[in-house]
Structure 1
């Protein structure tokens, strides 16, 4: 099965819990990484990586390590064939989901990450969010300042709570409208083409 089959099952599963937002292929860490799916549920952000039968697990640990720096909960959705190796190679904080007969099954629950990385979250913010948060804590900055400098200033001065709230708010600002459109336009059955409303091209900048 290809990745789209997994994405469809994932969206069906999470849309039933009435999250604030679901989005697909969301960049983070200054675009160095891309989360296959992100779910905002109440005050928490879930990052989900997908590994289908067509994918290799060579870089899985490094990918998961970056997710664990940024997201409150981290999940891996895998094929049955990958489950054993994934369970063995990933820390227990990463939840494991398997696609069985078209539905997701939880094989291991994710644990909330209590110690997120301020620098990593700052690098996952866009310039407008960085500027807004720097303004809130009265840190001077100039329009000509580079992105990396703004991210460093923010991570040095802001507390983790502010960064988490800013990251969550940014996701909702960019992707919530696409999710609302998705929920309004889909019927009882979700089709592959419906997922287009959740992709990066629906992002509001």
Structure 2
């Protein structure tokens, strides 16, 4: 079975490949967007992570005819009623300016006491099949918003995020290795919930072929 990942992010593809391999799922050929004919990527104008994940996954199926998996993710700060949320990548007004996004978020949270700085990285993964079947899974990585950037690994809000798993060690997610982060990440938790669905799709397609 061919499974399109609606992304060209090599890390996302490897993460899914690793999760499927650990679960013993066979017969799945994972493809990035670069492996299919180019198409106009849809506008991600949803109000929630699930909305945007479905927009991308549905577009992949519509344009390629392949089962498609897509995710939308971001940082949800409890004190800000879950924002930046779906606006995480463009919180400062410019898409992908990590430094500006971090600077603005720190300024907005400057006077908030430590006990009210809870936050979580959230990922929602959508899997859409050519027959219209749709599945959603959410993963959360709970933590705490730091008062200054810490660490040089990762991207986005990683330097500001102190995972609940790392409170004792005091390491931000930007100080974790790629392997450590993948084992804890919100996206990994969401993808893991779709393993059995993907297994069933692959086995069902193999039966049809046989």
- TM-score where L is the length of structure 1: 0.29
- TM-score where L is the length of structure 2: 0.28
